[in-house]
Amino acid sequence: MSTNTEIEVRYAVGPNEVKSYNTQQLRDTFLVDTLMQADKVTWVYSHYERFMVGSAVPVAGQLSLETLDALKAECFLNGREMGIINVGQAGTVCADGQKYHLGNKDALYLGRGNKKVTFESDDVNAPAHFYLNSTPAHKSYPNKLVTTADANVLHLGSLDTSNERNIYQMLINTVVDTCQLQMGLTSLKPGSVWNTMPAHQHDRRNEVYFYFDVQKDQAVSHFMGEPKETRHIWVHNEQAVISPPWSIHCGSGTQNYSFIWGMAGENLDYDDMDKYQPSELL
C-alpha cells in the first residue's frame, strides 16, 4: 500500500454495549476525525453494511485510488461502487481515462469495475476536498457527474423551528442508477441549526453524516442512540459520524452549517425511515 493511503477498520457494536460507553469510547467507535489530510487518501472501513468513509486532498500532486489489503481485490472498485462530493475548491477526478471536473458541492458516481481512478486539484493553493463513500456493488452502473443544479431539491423546515434547510438529493435512485449507495447534502439556512428533525432511524440500513461548512470555533452536537437511550457527540468541521441501523441521527449546531448524508442497506427507498417526534426522545 502506498504511504499516501491510510485505512482504519471498525467493527460493529450493538445498542446494549453502547449503553455503557463513556465519552471517549463513543467517539472512538463512531466519530471519524481523520478525514481531509493533505496529500493523503484516508479511509475508515465500517462493518455496518461494509460502508467505507474516506477523503482525498490532492495538494502537491495527483493522488491515486489504490486497492487495500482489507478488500482482497485487484483494484478498489473491483466489487464496489463509490460516491464523491467535493467540499473544497475545484478539482478533477479521472476514471479509466475519462475526466470529470467537480466544483464545490458537485458529486460524482463511479460504478463497479473502474480500474484506475485519480484525484487532482485545479489550484494547489486552493485544493479540492473530495469526500468519499463506498459500498459493495452487485453490478456495474455507468459513471455520472451530478451538480447541485442536477439534484432533486427539497425545501424543508422553517425558521420558527430553527430547521429551515435545503436537501440536495444527488446520488439517489431518482437521479442516478446505483446498487445500494445513496448520497446527498443538506444546507441549513442562516438562523437554523437543527438537522433531521423529527429525528429518525431505519433498521434496514446505516447512515453516515459528514459535517462541513462549520465555521471556525463553532461546532455541531450530533445525537445518536436508541430513541429512549440517546447520546451525543460533539463534531467539528470536516468530521463524520457513523450511524448504525439501530440509532437515531440528528444534530444541532452553534451556527448554521452543511452536512453530507450517505446511506446503504436493504433498499433504495429514500423515505424508508421511522420518525420520532421531539416529545418521544429521551
**pLDDT tens-digit readout, 175-233:** 999 999 999 999 999 999 999 988 988 888 999 999 999 999 999 999 999 999 999 99
DSSP state of 189: P
Nearest-angstrom CA–CA distance, 68 and 134: 13
Q: Is residue 44 predicted with pLDDT exceeding 50?
A: yes
Query: What's the pLDDT band for 244 if we cut at 50, 70, 90?
Result: very high
| pLDDT score of 1 | 42
Rounded to two decimals, what is the model's pTM?
A: 0.96
In the block, cell 477526478 appears at: 93
The Cα–Cα gap between 105 and 168 comes to 10
Q: How do 41-46 and 5-10 pair as beta strands?
A: parallel
Same topology, domains 5-15+34-146 and 152-280? Answer is: yes
Mean pLDDT of the chain: 95
CATH homologous superfamily, domain 152-280: Jelly Rolls (2.60.120.10)
**For the chain, what are the domain ranges?**
5-15+34-146, 152-280
**For residue 26, what is the DSSP state?**
H
Domain covering 5-15+34-146: architecture = Sandwich (2.60)
Written as one letter, the residue type at 231 is R
